A and B are shown apart, each in its own frame.
Chain A
Amino acid sequence: SIAFLVTRRQKMPKGRFDQASSNVQWMVIRNNSSFLRKRKLGTFTTEPNNLRNRNTFRLNGLIHPKVVGVEAVKDGKGVVFSTGSIKNIKKPTKRFHKVKLTKDPRRTLTTIRRTIRKQRYRKDLKMAALRRASALLRGQRLALTTPTATTTGKRAGKAAAATTSS
Protein backbone atom coordinates (compact mmCIF):
# COMPACT_ATOMS: atom_id res chain seq x y z
CA SER A 1 0.00 0.00 0.00
CA ILE A 2 1.18 3.45 -0.91
CA ALA A 3 2.06 5.65 2.05
CA PHE A 4 1.14 9.25 1.51
CA LEU A 5 2.09 12.33 3.46
CA VAL A 6 -0.56 13.67 5.79
CA THR A 7 -0.81 17.39 6.13
CA ARG A 8 -2.56 17.28 9.47
CA ARG A 9 -0.59 15.52 12.13
CA GLN A 10 -2.93 12.71 13.18
CA LYS A 11 -1.41 11.08 16.18
CA MET A 12 -2.61 7.61 17.06
CA PRO A 13 -4.83 7.62 20.11
CA LYS A 14 -3.51 5.46 22.91
CA GLY A 15 -5.10 2.43 24.46
CA ARG A 16 -6.26 -0.99 23.37
CA PHE A 17 -7.96 -1.17 20.02
CA ASP A 18 -10.51 -3.38 18.41
CA GLN A 19 -8.64 -6.49 17.51
CA ALA A 20 -10.78 -7.40 14.57
CA SER A 21 -9.62 -4.81 12.07
CA SER A 22 -10.19 -5.52 8.40
CA ASN A 23 -6.64 -6.73 8.12
CA VAL A 24 -7.07 -9.32 10.85
CA GLN A 25 -10.35 -10.45 9.36
CA TRP A 26 -8.67 -10.78 6.01
CA MET A 27 -6.06 -13.09 7.50
CA VAL A 28 -8.86 -15.35 8.70
CA ILE A 29 -10.98 -15.23 5.57
CA ARG A 30 -8.40 -15.17 2.80
CA ASN A 31 -8.04 -18.90 2.54
CA ASN A 32 -11.08 -20.03 4.40
CA SER A 33 -14.54 -18.86 3.45
CA SER A 34 -17.74 -20.37 2.19
CA PHE A 35 -17.60 -17.98 -0.73
CA LEU A 36 -14.17 -19.00 -1.92
CA ARG A 37 -14.00 -20.78 -5.27
CA LYS A 38 -10.59 -22.09 -6.15
CA ARG A 39 -10.43 -23.28 -9.70
CA LYS A 40 -7.73 -23.92 -12.24
CA LEU A 41 -8.83 -20.73 -13.95
CA GLY A 42 -8.14 -18.71 -10.82
CA THR A 43 -9.36 -17.98 -7.32
CA PHE A 44 -12.74 -16.28 -7.09
CA THR A 45 -15.28 -15.40 -4.45
CA THR A 46 -19.03 -15.29 -4.64
CA GLU A 47 -19.67 -12.96 -1.73
CA PRO A 48 -22.36 -10.40 -2.40
CA ASN A 49 -20.48 -7.10 -2.57
CA ASN A 50 -17.34 -8.03 -4.37
CA LEU A 51 -17.18 -6.00 -7.54
CA ARG A 52 -14.88 -8.32 -9.41
CA ASN A 53 -15.52 -11.56 -7.56
CA ARG A 54 -11.80 -11.64 -6.97
CA ASN A 55 -10.39 -12.87 -3.68
CA THR A 56 -8.36 -9.83 -2.68
CA PHE A 57 -8.27 -7.64 0.39
CA ARG A 58 -9.40 -4.51 -1.34
CA LEU A 59 -12.29 -6.02 -3.26
CA ASN A 60 -13.65 -8.14 -0.44
CA GLY A 61 -17.29 -7.45 0.31
CA LEU A 62 -17.42 -8.59 3.92
CA ILE A 63 -14.42 -7.16 5.68
CA HIS A 64 -14.60 -3.42 5.13
CA PRO A 65 -17.06 -1.03 6.74
CA LYS A 66 -17.33 0.87 3.45
CA VAL A 67 -18.36 -1.46 0.70
CA VAL A 68 -19.74 -1.04 -2.80
CA GLY A 69 -21.94 -3.58 -4.52
CA VAL A 70 -23.56 -3.71 -7.95
CA GLU A 71 -25.99 -6.46 -8.81
CA ALA A 72 -28.61 -6.98 -11.49
CA VAL A 73 -32.26 -6.52 -10.65
CA LYS A 74 -33.90 -9.91 -10.54
CA ASP A 75 -36.30 -10.48 -13.42
CA GLY A 76 -36.20 -7.00 -14.73
CA LYS A 77 -34.13 -4.21 -16.01
CA GLY A 78 -31.65 -2.20 -14.12
CA VAL A 79 -29.11 -2.56 -11.43
CA VAL A 80 -29.10 -2.51 -7.65
CA PHE A 81 -26.38 -0.27 -6.27
CA SER A 82 -25.59 -0.99 -2.65
CA THR A 83 -23.32 0.86 -0.27
CA GLY A 84 -22.50 -0.32 3.21
CA SER A 85 -23.37 1.93 6.11
CA ILE A 86 -20.65 2.28 8.70
CA LYS A 87 -23.12 2.67 11.52
CA ASN A 88 -24.78 -0.66 11.13
CA ILE A 89 -21.88 -3.04 10.65
CA LYS A 90 -23.22 -5.29 13.38
CA LYS A 91 -26.69 -5.50 11.92
CA PRO A 92 -26.62 -7.52 8.70
CA THR A 93 -30.22 -6.73 7.80
CA LYS A 94 -29.71 -2.97 7.99
CA ARG A 95 -26.19 -2.79 6.75
CA PHE A 96 -26.64 -2.08 3.08
CA HIS A 97 -28.28 0.91 1.56
CA LYS A 98 -29.62 -0.39 -1.71
CA VAL A 99 -30.77 1.76 -4.58
CA LYS A 100 -32.52 0.40 -7.63
CA LEU A 101 -31.28 2.11 -10.76
CA THR A 102 -33.65 1.26 -13.57
CA LYS A 103 -33.37 4.17 -15.97
CA ASP A 104 -31.15 4.19 -19.00
CA PRO A 105 -27.55 3.08 -18.66
CA ARG A 106 -26.09 6.55 -18.89
CA ARG A 107 -28.03 7.69 -15.88
CA THR A 108 -27.24 4.54 -13.95
CA LEU A 109 -23.53 4.89 -14.50
CA THR A 110 -23.62 8.57 -13.70
CA THR A 111 -25.39 7.91 -10.44
CA ILE A 112 -22.82 5.33 -9.45
CA ARG A 113 -19.92 7.49 -10.50
CA ARG A 114 -21.20 10.55 -8.73
CA THR A 115 -22.11 8.74 -5.53
CA ILE A 116 -18.65 7.29 -5.25
CA ARG A 117 -16.85 10.42 -6.22
CA LYS A 118 -18.80 13.04 -4.30
CA GLN A 119 -19.00 11.04 -1.12
CA ARG A 120 -15.37 10.01 -1.50
CA TYR A 121 -16.77 6.60 -0.89
CA ARG A 122 -14.16 4.01 -1.85
CA LYS A 123 -12.77 5.88 -4.83
CA ASP A 124 -10.53 2.92 -5.57
CA LEU A 125 -13.62 0.92 -6.49
CA LYS A 126 -15.13 3.44 -8.85
CA MET A 127 -13.97 1.90 -12.11
CA ALA A 128 -14.75 -1.59 -10.94
CA ALA A 129 -18.28 -0.54 -10.02
CA LEU A 130 -18.83 1.17 -13.34
CA ARG A 131 -17.53 -1.76 -15.31
CA ARG A 132 -19.64 -4.21 -13.44
CA ALA A 133 -22.76 -2.12 -13.92
CA SER A 134 -21.90 -1.72 -17.55
CA ALA A 135 -21.49 -5.44 -18.06
CA LEU A 136 -24.74 -6.26 -16.30
CA LEU A 137 -26.68 -3.69 -18.28
CA ARG A 138 -25.18 -4.93 -21.50
CA GLY A 139 -26.25 -8.44 -20.66
CA GLN A 140 -29.78 -7.26 -20.07
CA ARG A 141 -29.82 -5.42 -23.35
CA LEU A 142 -28.59 -8.44 -25.26
CA ALA A 143 -31.15 -10.64 -23.61
CA LEU A 144 -33.83 -8.39 -25.01
CA THR A 145 -32.50 -7.78 -28.52
CA THR A 146 -31.53 -11.29 -29.62
CA PRO A 147 -34.72 -13.17 -30.50
CA THR A 148 -33.28 -16.57 -29.75
CA ALA A 149 -31.46 -15.37 -26.71
CA THR A 150 -32.17 -18.48 -24.74
CA THR A 151 -30.48 -20.88 -27.13
CA THR A 152 -26.75 -21.27 -27.00
CA GLY A 153 -23.40 -20.13 -25.84
CA LYS A 154 -22.21 -16.88 -24.45
CA ARG A 155 -25.43 -15.00 -24.87
CA ALA A 156 -27.39 -17.51 -22.88
CA GLY A 157 -24.78 -17.36 -20.20
CA LYS A 158 -24.97 -13.58 -20.09
CA ALA A 159 -28.74 -13.57 -20.02
CA ALA A 160 -28.71 -16.15 -17.29
CA ALA A 161 -26.15 -14.14 -15.39
CA ALA A 162 -28.15 -10.96 -15.80
CA THR A 163 -31.37 -12.45 -14.52
CA THR A 164 -30.10 -14.80 -11.85
CA SER A 165 -27.26 -12.80 -10.37
CA SER A 166 -27.80 -10.84 -7.17
Chain B
Amino acid sequence: MAASRPLVSVYDEKGQSTGRSVVLPAVFRAPIRTDIVSFVHDQMRRNKRQAHAVSSKAGEQTSAESWGTGRAVARIPRVRGGGTHRSGQGAFGNMCRGGRMYAPLKVWRKWHRKINLKQRRYALVSAIAASGVPSLVLARGTIETVPEIPLVVSDKFQDLKKTKEAVAVLRKVGAWSDILKVYASKHTRAGKGKMRNRRTVMKRGPVIIYDKDNGVKNAFRNIPGVSLLNVERLNLLRLAPGGHLGRFLIWTESAFKKLDALYGTWSKKSQLKVDFNLPQPMMTNSDLGRLLKAFEIQSVLRAPIKRQARRKVKKNPLKNIGLMSRLNPYAGVQKRQTLLTQLKGRRTGKTIESKVAARKARTHASVKARRLSSVNLVKITKKQNAVATKKATTTKSS
Protein backbone atom coordinates (compact mmCIF):
# COMPACT_ATOMS: atom_id res chain seq x y z
CA MET B 1 0.00 0.00 0.00
CA ALA B 2 1.89 2.99 -1.24
CA ALA B 3 1.31 6.38 0.36
CA SER B 4 -2.13 6.97 -0.99
CA ARG B 5 -3.31 10.50 -1.34
CA PRO B 6 -7.04 10.04 -1.24
CA LEU B 7 -9.67 12.64 -1.88
CA VAL B 8 -11.05 14.56 1.06
CA SER B 9 -14.57 15.89 0.63
CA VAL B 10 -15.39 19.48 1.41
CA TYR B 11 -18.32 20.20 3.71
CA ASP B 12 -20.49 23.27 3.63
CA GLU B 13 -21.81 25.32 6.56
CA LYS B 14 -24.80 23.02 6.85
CA GLY B 15 -22.60 20.02 7.45
CA GLN B 16 -23.49 18.46 4.12
CA SER B 17 -20.85 17.33 1.75
CA THR B 18 -20.56 19.58 -1.28
CA GLY B 19 -19.63 17.85 -4.47
CA ARG B 20 -16.08 19.09 -4.29
CA SER B 21 -13.10 17.24 -2.96
CA VAL B 22 -9.44 18.00 -2.53
CA VAL B 23 -6.50 15.64 -2.81
CA LEU B 24 -4.98 15.02 0.59
CA PRO B 25 -1.85 17.13 0.87
CA ALA B 26 1.41 15.22 1.27
CA VAL B 27 1.96 16.73 4.75
CA PHE B 28 -0.59 14.31 6.11
CA ARG B 29 1.67 11.46 5.11
CA ALA B 30 4.68 12.81 6.94
CA PRO B 31 6.24 10.77 9.75
CA ILE B 32 4.63 11.24 13.14
CA ARG B 33 7.39 11.87 15.61
CA THR B 34 6.15 12.33 19.13
CA ASP B 35 9.68 12.76 20.42
CA ILE B 36 10.43 15.72 18.19
CA VAL B 37 7.06 17.30 18.86
CA SER B 38 7.50 16.86 22.58
CA PHE B 39 10.96 18.39 22.55
CA VAL B 40 10.11 21.33 20.31
CA HIS B 41 6.91 22.02 22.19
CA ASP B 42 8.80 22.05 25.43
CA GLN B 43 11.33 24.51 24.05
CA MET B 44 8.73 26.70 22.43
CA ARG B 45 6.75 26.97 25.60
CA ARG B 46 9.62 28.74 27.27
CA ASN B 47 9.58 31.53 24.76
CA LYS B 48 6.60 33.34 26.18
CA ARG B 49 8.13 33.63 29.62
CA GLN B 50 8.70 36.97 31.24
CA ALA B 51 11.80 37.53 33.29
CA HIS B 52 11.39 37.52 37.03
CA ALA B 53 13.90 37.87 39.78
CA VAL B 54 14.30 38.66 43.39
CA SER B 55 15.62 42.06 44.39
CA SER B 56 19.41 41.95 44.48
CA LYS B 57 19.36 43.92 47.71
CA ALA B 58 16.93 41.57 49.43
CA GLY B 59 18.41 40.26 52.66
CA GLU B 60 21.66 42.16 52.18
CA GLN B 61 20.65 45.46 53.65
CA THR B 62 22.25 44.89 57.00
CA SER B 63 25.72 45.47 58.35
CA ALA B 64 25.65 42.28 60.31
CA GLU B 65 28.85 40.63 61.45
CA SER B 66 29.56 37.28 63.07
CA TRP B 67 30.25 37.35 66.81
CA GLY B 68 32.86 34.65 66.33
CA THR B 69 33.40 31.80 68.72
CA GLY B 70 33.28 31.74 72.48
CA ARG B 71 29.90 33.40 72.94
CA ALA B 72 27.73 30.28 73.14
CA VAL B 73 25.89 31.19 69.96
CA ALA B 74 25.98 29.96 66.39
CA ARG B 75 28.50 31.68 64.19
CA ILE B 76 26.17 33.32 61.61
CA PRO B 77 26.47 37.07 61.14
CA ARG B 78 24.32 38.92 63.61
CA VAL B 79 22.77 42.35 63.38
CA ARG B 80 24.68 45.07 65.21
CA GLY B 81 23.54 47.58 67.65
CA GLY B 82 20.85 47.39 70.26
CA GLY B 83 17.58 48.70 71.43
CA THR B 84 15.45 46.74 69.02
CA HIS B 85 14.24 43.23 68.44
CA ARG B 86 16.36 42.99 65.37
CA SER B 87 19.66 43.45 67.14
CA GLY B 88 21.53 40.22 67.57
CA GLN B 89 19.34 38.32 65.14
CA GLY B 90 20.96 36.25 62.44
CA ALA B 91 21.27 37.85 59.04
CA PHE B 92 22.48 37.19 55.52
CA GLY B 93 22.09 33.43 55.37
CA ASN B 94 19.42 31.57 53.42
CA MET B 95 18.51 29.84 56.66
CA CYS B 96 18.02 33.11 58.54
CA ARG B 97 14.77 34.88 58.98
CA GLY B 98 14.96 37.98 56.84
CA GLY B 99 18.08 36.75 55.11
CA ARG B 100 18.73 36.46 51.41
CA MET B 101 17.56 33.29 49.64
CA TYR B 102 19.88 30.59 48.34
CA ALA B 103 21.02 31.54 44.83
CA PRO B 104 18.97 34.70 44.40
CA LEU B 105 17.10 34.71 41.12
CA LYS B 106 18.68 36.83 38.44
CA VAL B 107 17.08 38.44 35.45
CA TRP B 108 19.77 37.19 33.15
CA ARG B 109 18.58 33.59 33.41
CA LYS B 110 18.17 32.06 29.96
CA TRP B 111 14.40 32.37 29.54
CA HIS B 112 14.00 31.67 25.85
CA ARG B 113 15.19 28.85 23.73
CA LYS B 114 16.45 28.84 20.23
CA ILE B 115 15.18 25.90 18.23
CA ASN B 116 16.59 24.81 14.91
CA LEU B 117 14.39 25.74 12.00
CA LYS B 118 14.39 22.21 10.66
CA GLN B 119 13.27 20.83 13.98
CA ARG B 120 10.53 23.38 14.30
CA ARG B 121 9.25 22.54 10.86
CA TYR B 122 9.52 18.80 11.44
CA ALA B 123 7.46 19.10 14.60
CA LEU B 124 4.82 21.15 12.86
CA VAL B 125 4.60 18.74 10.00
CA SER B 126 4.25 15.81 12.41
CA ALA B 127 1.48 17.61 14.24
CA ILE B 128 -0.42 18.21 11.03
CA ALA B 129 0.03 14.60 9.99
CA ALA B 130 -1.23 13.37 13.35
CA SER B 131 -4.33 15.55 13.09
CA GLY B 132 -5.28 13.58 9.99
CA VAL B 133 -5.28 10.24 11.79
CA PRO B 134 -8.75 9.67 13.26
CA SER B 135 -7.64 7.42 16.08
CA LEU B 136 -5.14 9.95 17.39
CA VAL B 137 -7.70 12.73 17.30
CA LEU B 138 -10.27 10.57 19.05
CA ALA B 139 -7.76 9.38 21.60
CA ARG B 140 -6.87 12.95 22.48
CA GLY B 141 -10.51 13.45 23.22
CA THR B 142 -12.64 14.68 20.35
CA ILE B 143 -16.01 13.11 20.11
CA GLU B 144 -17.12 11.05 17.18
CA THR B 145 -19.76 13.37 15.75
CA VAL B 146 -17.44 14.62 13.07
CA PRO B 147 -18.31 13.59 9.50
CA GLU B 148 -14.71 13.20 8.33
CA ILE B 149 -11.16 13.54 9.51
CA PRO B 150 -9.41 15.69 8.31
CA LEU B 151 -12.37 18.06 8.22
CA VAL B 152 -12.38 20.53 5.35
CA VAL B 153 -15.08 23.15 5.12
CA SER B 154 -15.98 25.51 2.32
CA ASP B 155 -14.48 28.97 2.14
CA LYS B 156 -17.79 30.46 3.29
CA PHE B 157 -16.41 29.85 6.75
CA GLN B 158 -13.93 32.63 6.22
CA ASP B 159 -16.74 35.10 5.50
CA LEU B 160 -18.63 34.48 8.70
CA LYS B 161 -19.08 37.64 10.70
CA LYS B 162 -21.35 36.83 13.62
CA THR B 163 -20.59 34.51 16.50
CA LYS B 164 -24.16 33.30 16.35
CA GLU B 165 -23.59 32.07 12.84
CA ALA B 166 -20.28 30.56 13.87
CA VAL B 167 -21.96 28.56 16.63
CA ALA B 168 -24.68 27.34 14.26
CA VAL B 169 -22.08 26.23 11.79
CA LEU B 170 -20.06 24.38 14.41
CA ARG B 171 -23.16 22.53 15.45
CA LYS B 172 -23.95 21.46 11.93
CA VAL B 173 -20.44 20.31 11.28
CA GLY B 174 -20.35 18.12 14.39
CA ALA B 175 -17.78 20.12 16.32
CA TRP B 176 -20.11 21.45 18.98
CA SER B 177 -19.67 18.48 21.31
CA ASP B 178 -16.04 19.45 21.54
CA ILE B 179 -17.00 22.90 22.71
CA LEU B 180 -19.47 21.55 25.20
CA LYS B 181 -16.56 19.60 26.57
CA VAL B 182 -14.68 22.86 26.94
CA TYR B 183 -17.57 24.47 28.79
CA ALA B 184 -17.72 21.52 31.12
CA SER B 185 -14.01 21.77 31.87
CA LYS B 186 -13.96 25.37 33.09
CA HIS B 187 -12.61 25.48 36.59
CA THR B 188 -10.54 27.63 38.90
CA ARG B 189 -6.81 27.34 38.44
CA ALA B 190 -4.85 25.61 41.13
CA GLY B 191 -2.11 27.79 42.52
CA LYS B 192 -1.15 31.43 42.80
CA GLY B 193 -2.23 32.16 39.25
CA LYS B 194 -5.68 32.69 40.74
CA MET B 195 -4.62 36.00 42.18
CA ARG B 196 -2.55 36.93 39.20
CA ASN B 197 -5.37 37.41 36.75
CA ARG B 198 -5.29 33.83 35.50
CA ARG B 199 -8.20 32.61 37.46
CA THR B 200 -10.06 30.16 35.18
CA VAL B 201 -8.67 27.32 33.15
CA MET B 202 -10.37 25.26 30.52
CA LYS B 203 -9.66 22.63 27.88
CA ARG B 204 -8.75 23.31 24.28
CA GLY B 205 -11.39 22.85 21.59
CA PRO B 206 -11.12 22.77 17.81
CA VAL B 207 -8.76 24.90 15.73
CA ILE B 208 -10.08 26.77 12.72
CA ILE B 209 -7.38 27.11 10.10
CA TYR B 210 -8.15 29.70 7.46
CA ASP B 211 -6.43 31.25 4.52
CA LYS B 212 -7.96 34.71 4.44
CA ASP B 213 -9.60 36.40 7.37
CA ASN B 214 -12.85 37.94 6.15
CA GLY B 215 -14.33 37.93 9.60
CA VAL B 216 -13.62 34.36 10.83
CA LYS B 217 -11.47 35.57 13.61
CA ASN B 218 -14.07 37.89 14.97
CA ALA B 219 -16.82 35.36 14.57
CA PHE B 220 -15.08 32.51 16.35
CA ARG B 221 -12.83 34.18 18.86
CA ASN B 222 -15.39 34.44 21.61
CA ILE B 223 -16.32 30.78 21.53
CA PRO B 224 -14.47 29.08 24.38
CA GLY B 225 -11.77 26.64 23.39
CA VAL B 226 -11.58 27.63 19.74
CA SER B 227 -8.21 28.66 18.34
CA LEU B 228 -7.79 30.44 15.06
CA LEU B 229 -4.75 30.08 12.88
CA ASN B 230 -3.70 31.32 9.49
CA VAL B 231 -2.29 28.51 7.34
CA GLU B 232 0.85 30.40 6.70
CA ARG B 233 1.55 30.88 10.36
CA LEU B 234 0.73 27.64 12.06
CA ASN B 235 1.67 27.35 15.70
CA LEU B 236 2.85 24.08 17.23
CA LEU B 237 1.65 25.23 20.64
CA ARG B 238 -1.85 25.27 19.20
CA LEU B 239 -1.60 22.19 17.02
CA ALA B 240 -0.18 19.99 19.76
CA PRO B 241 -1.25 21.53 23.05
CA GLY B 242 0.59 20.07 25.99
CA GLY B 243 2.96 18.40 23.57
CA HIS B 244 0.24 15.90 22.74
CA LEU B 245 -0.63 15.18 19.14
CA GLY B 246 -4.06 15.02 17.63
CA ARG B 247 -5.94 18.22 18.22
CA PHE B 248 -9.11 18.50 16.19
CA LEU B 249 -8.48 20.84 13.25
CA ILE B 250 -11.04 22.38 10.92
CA TRP B 251 -9.54 23.51 7.62
CA THR B 252 -11.12 25.86 5.14
CA GLU B 253 -10.86 24.73 1.56
CA SER B 254 -8.33 27.29 0.42
CA ALA B 255 -6.22 26.71 3.52
CA PHE B 256 -6.20 22.99 2.82
CA LYS B 257 -5.21 23.55 -0.76
CA LYS B 258 -2.33 25.76 0.29
CA LEU B 259 -0.66 23.02 2.30
CA ASP B 260 1.01 21.42 -0.70
CA ALA B 261 2.55 24.73 -1.66
CA LEU B 262 3.59 25.45 1.91
CA TYR B 263 5.16 22.15 2.84
CA GLY B 264 5.85 20.56 -0.50
CA THR B 265 5.33 17.01 -1.54
CA TRP B 266 8.36 14.77 -1.50
CA SER B 267 8.75 15.11 -5.23
CA LYS B 268 8.37 18.88 -5.14
CA LYS B 269 9.97 21.31 -2.74
CA SER B 270 7.95 23.80 -0.80
CA GLN B 271 7.18 26.91 -2.76
CA LEU B 272 6.47 29.22 0.12
CA LYS B 273 9.17 28.14 2.54
CA VAL B 274 12.80 28.54 1.73
CA ASP B 275 14.61 25.29 1.10
CA PHE B 276 12.13 22.95 2.73
CA ASN B 277 10.85 19.55 1.75
CA LEU B 278 8.96 17.05 3.81
CA PRO B 279 11.09 14.93 6.15
CA GLN B 280 11.97 11.41 5.14
CA PRO B 281 10.54 8.71 7.37
CA MET B 282 12.81 6.28 9.15
CA MET B 283 10.84 3.32 7.87
CA THR B 284 9.21 3.51 4.46
CA ASN B 285 6.80 0.85 5.57
CA SER B 286 5.78 0.97 9.20
CA ASP B 287 3.06 -1.65 8.95
CA LEU B 288 4.60 -4.36 11.10
CA GLY B 289 1.80 -6.82 10.43
CA ARG B 290 2.36 -6.84 6.71
CA LEU B 291 6.12 -6.81 7.04
CA LEU B 292 6.10 -9.96 9.12
CA LYS B 293 3.94 -11.79 6.62
CA ALA B 294 5.89 -10.61 3.58
CA PHE B 295 7.71 -13.16 1.49
CA GLU B 296 11.02 -11.33 1.70
CA ILE B 297 11.15 -11.81 5.42
CA GLN B 298 9.40 -15.14 5.77
CA SER B 299 11.75 -16.80 3.28
CA VAL B 300 14.76 -15.99 5.43
CA LEU B 301 13.36 -17.12 8.75
CA ARG B 302 13.95 -20.56 10.21
CA ALA B 303 10.96 -22.66 11.12
CA PRO B 304 9.27 -21.57 14.33
CA ILE B 305 10.07 -23.58 17.45
CA LYS B 306 6.60 -24.51 18.61
CA ARG B 307 7.70 -26.84 21.40
CA GLN B 308 10.66 -25.72 23.37
CA ALA B 309 12.56 -28.33 25.33
CA ARG B 310 12.70 -26.98 28.83
CA ARG B 311 14.76 -27.89 31.86
CA LYS B 312 13.63 -31.21 33.23
CA VAL B 313 13.18 -31.41 36.96
CA LYS B 314 14.93 -34.46 38.40
CA LYS B 315 12.55 -36.37 40.62
CA ASN B 316 13.62 -38.62 43.46
CA PRO B 317 12.79 -42.28 42.73
CA LEU B 318 12.68 -43.09 46.42
CA LYS B 319 9.78 -40.73 46.78
CA ASN B 320 8.27 -40.98 43.33
CA ILE B 321 6.81 -44.42 42.72
CA GLY B 322 6.29 -43.86 39.02
CA LEU B 323 9.93 -43.07 38.45
CA MET B 324 11.04 -45.95 40.64
CA SER B 325 8.99 -48.43 38.64
CA ARG B 326 10.57 -47.14 35.46
CA LEU B 327 14.03 -47.78 36.85
CA ASN B 328 13.25 -50.98 38.68
CA PRO B 329 10.11 -52.69 37.51
CA TYR B 330 10.21 -55.06 40.47
CA ALA B 331 9.93 -52.21 42.92
CA GLY B 332 6.20 -52.07 42.38
CA VAL B 333 5.78 -55.64 43.29
CA GLN B 334 7.90 -55.29 46.41
CA LYS B 335 5.98 -52.35 47.57
CA ARG B 336 2.72 -54.12 47.02
CA GLN B 337 3.83 -57.11 49.03
CA THR B 338 5.01 -55.04 51.98
CA LEU B 339 1.77 -53.15 51.96
CA LEU B 340 -0.24 -56.32 51.88
CA THR B 341 1.67 -57.86 54.77
CA GLN B 342 1.25 -54.68 56.75
CA LEU B 343 -2.43 -54.72 56.05
CA LYS B 344 -2.63 -58.36 56.99
CA GLY B 345 -1.04 -57.61 60.27
CA ARG B 346 -3.48 -54.79 60.80
CA ARG B 347 -6.54 -56.81 59.97
CA THR B 348 -5.89 -59.44 62.59
CA GLY B 349 -7.00 -58.20 65.98
CA LYS B 350 -4.13 -57.00 68.11
CA THR B 351 -5.26 -58.32 71.48
CA ILE B 352 -2.61 -59.32 73.98
CA GLU B 353 -3.62 -62.96 73.71
CA SER B 354 -3.33 -62.92 69.96
CA LYS B 355 0.06 -61.19 70.21
CA VAL B 356 1.28 -63.77 72.68
CA ALA B 357 -0.07 -66.52 70.51
CA ALA B 358 1.59 -64.99 67.48
CA ARG B 359 4.92 -64.78 69.26
CA LYS B 360 4.65 -68.36 70.34
CA ALA B 361 3.94 -69.37 66.80
CA ARG B 362 7.03 -67.60 65.60
CA THR B 363 9.45 -70.38 66.45
CA HIS B 364 12.84 -70.45 64.89
CA ALA B 365 11.92 -73.42 62.92
CA SER B 366 8.85 -71.81 61.46
CA VAL B 367 10.72 -68.64 60.60
CA LYS B 368 13.53 -70.52 58.98
CA ALA B 369 11.12 -72.67 57.11
CA ARG B 370 9.31 -69.64 55.82
CA ARG B 371 12.57 -68.10 54.74
CA LEU B 372 13.74 -71.12 52.86
CA SER B 373 10.43 -72.09 51.35
CA SER B 374 9.23 -69.03 49.48
CA VAL B 375 11.11 -68.02 46.42
CA ASN B 376 9.83 -64.50 45.94
CA LEU B 377 10.89 -63.08 49.20
CA VAL B 378 12.64 -59.78 49.57
CA LYS B 379 16.25 -59.93 48.48
CA ILE B 380 18.36 -60.10 51.62
CA THR B 381 21.54 -58.11 51.51
CA LYS B 382 24.78 -59.63 52.61
CA LYS B 383 24.67 -57.68 55.86
CA GLN B 384 21.23 -58.94 56.65
CA ASN B 385 22.33 -62.42 55.78
CA ALA B 386 25.32 -62.18 58.08
CA VAL B 387 23.15 -60.86 60.89
CA ALA B 388 20.58 -63.56 60.32
CA THR B 389 23.14 -66.33 60.32
CA LYS B 390 24.80 -64.79 63.39
CA LYS B 391 21.45 -64.74 65.12
CA ALA B 392 20.87 -68.30 64.12
CA THR B 393 24.29 -69.38 65.34
CA THR B 394 24.03 -67.44 68.63
CA THR B 395 20.59 -68.81 69.34
CA LYS B 396 21.77 -72.20 68.37
CA SER B 397 24.67 -71.93 70.67
CA SER B 398 22.63 -70.51 73.58
Contacts and interface: CB of A to CB of B under 8 A. Distances in A.
A4 B289 CA distance: 11
A41 interface: no
Contacts of A94: 147
Interface in B279-304: 281, 284-299, 301, 304
Contacts of A29: 135-136, 139
Contacts, number: 139
Nearest to B2: A15
A16 B28 CA distance: 13
B38 to A, nearest CB: 10
Contacts of A21: 285-289
B93 interface: no
Contact of A12 (B138, B139, B285): B285
**Candidate in A15, A28, A62 with the most chain B CB atoms within 10 angstroms:** A28
A3 B306 CA distance: 11
A6 B144 CA distance: 38
Nearest to A45: B139
B63 to A, nearest CB: 56
B101 interface: no
A16 B2 contact: yes
B294 A11 contact: yes
Interface in A1-53: 1-6, 9-25, 27-29, 32-35, 47
Nearest to B139: A33
Contacts of B284: 15-17
Interface of A is mostly: loop
Contacts of A23: 286-289
Interface string B232-255: 000000000000111000000000
B306 to A, nearest CB: 9
A13 B290 CA distance: 11
Contacts of A5: 298
A92 B288 contact: no
B150 to A, nearest CB: 8
B34 interface: yes
B223 to A, nearest CB: 21
A33 B291 CA distance: 27
Contacts of B281: 16, 19
A84 to B, nearest CB: 11
A57 B274 CA distance: 40
B301 to A, nearest CB: 6
Given A11-B295, A19-B32, A62 B135 contact: yes
Given A2-B304, A17-B284, A28 B130 contact: yes
A20 B283 CA distance: 11
B62 interface: no
A89 interface: yes
Given A3-B304, A91-B147, A62 B138 contact: yes
Contacts of B2: 13-17
Interface of B: 1-4, 6, 8, 29-32, 34, 129-130, 132-136, 138-141, 144-150, 174, 244-246, 266, 281, 284-299, 301, 304
21 contacts: A1-B288, A1-B292, A3-B304, A6-B293, A10-B294, A12-B295, A13-B1, A16-B3, A16-B284, A17-B286, A19-B286, A20-B32, A20-B129, A20-B286, A21-B288, A23-B287, A25-B136, A29-B136, A47-B139, A91-B148, A95-B134
Of all A-B residue pairs in the complex, the 5 with the closest CB atoms, nearest first, are A62-B135, A34-B141, A15-B2, A21-B287, A92-B144
